[in-house]
Amino acid sequence: MSQNKLFLRTSKMFNEESYNRFVNSTVCVVGLGGVGGICCEVLVRSGLENIIICDFDKVDITNCNRQIIATSNNIGNFKALEMEKRIKEINPNCNVIVLNEKFDSNSKLFSFKIDYLVDCIDDVSNKFLLIKSCYENNIPFISSMGTAKKLDLKKLNIIDINQTTYDPLAKAIRYKLKTNNLKIKFKCLCSTEQPLDVKEDYLASYMPVTSTAGIMIADYVIKELIKEN
């Protein structure tokens, strides 16, 4: 399989030097759910040759409504390993580092070289830790906020964390930043739609919203890496 032909149609969209800057970067995606899985797919199909994927969870039957790796045939399998398999089916030459673990204070994540990080986890404490660690290690990143209980994909935006509205996860992160006296600005994917009033215990979700969020994040990362420093 010719690597040049595999992503020929994408490479022609950009200046060769700029495109190669993206291709040769290492992007890390933490959390491979409805947003993170699609984000990985777009990055790899756009020609990224080095990716780190991190997730501890297993595919659940309720994931099949929105997660790109979830099928009726792989329920119970680890998401990170399923994502690795999918990446290799798209591009066998892609260098994939798999961290089949939960990101927390014991994670090995920051022992690797990372040019850009995508945060797609929803545990508030570990999400804050990930954001703080990126800041302390001077790693550019973008963070996905809540997409559950949202229906209007046109209300998805990439904005500064301080501009977020109608997002309980973003509100919790803003509070953690304030109480820890961490005055940083960073970009996040956020919906400005008021969440639906869904009474069930689980978080209702809609694939057009979660997938669009993942695509928007991947597009943002690609263009950040392609542009000159």
Domains within the chain, CATH numbers bracketed: 3-226 (3.40.50.720)
Q: Which of 55, 36, 28 is nearest to 211 (CA)?
A: 36
Burial class of residue 186, CB neighbours in 10 A (0-12, 13-18, 19+): middle
- pTM, 2 dp: 0.94
Amino acid type, 89: E
Amino acid type, 141: F
- Statement: residue 201 has pLDDT above 70: no
Which pLDDT value is given to residue 197? 84
Report the alpha-carbon distance of residue 135 to residue 4 in Å, rounded.
Answer: 35
Which pLDDT value is given to residue 228? 67
Which pLDDT value is given to residue 1? 47
Element (H, E) at 221: helix 207-226
- Structure confidence by residue, pLDDT tens digits, 115-174: 999 999 999 999 999 999 999 999 999 999 999 999 999 999 999 999 999 999 999 999
- Structure confidence by residue, pLDDT tens digits, 165-196: 999 999 999 999 999 999 899 999 999 999 88
* Mean pLDDT on 87-105: 96
* Mean pLDDT on 102-114: 95
Q: Which of 143, 142, 93, 132 is nearest to 110 (CA)?
A: 132
- Statement: residue 2 has pLDDT above 60: no
CA dihedral 15, 20, 26, 28 (to 10 degrees): 40
Phi, psi dihedrals of residue 221, rounded to the nearest 5°: -65, -45
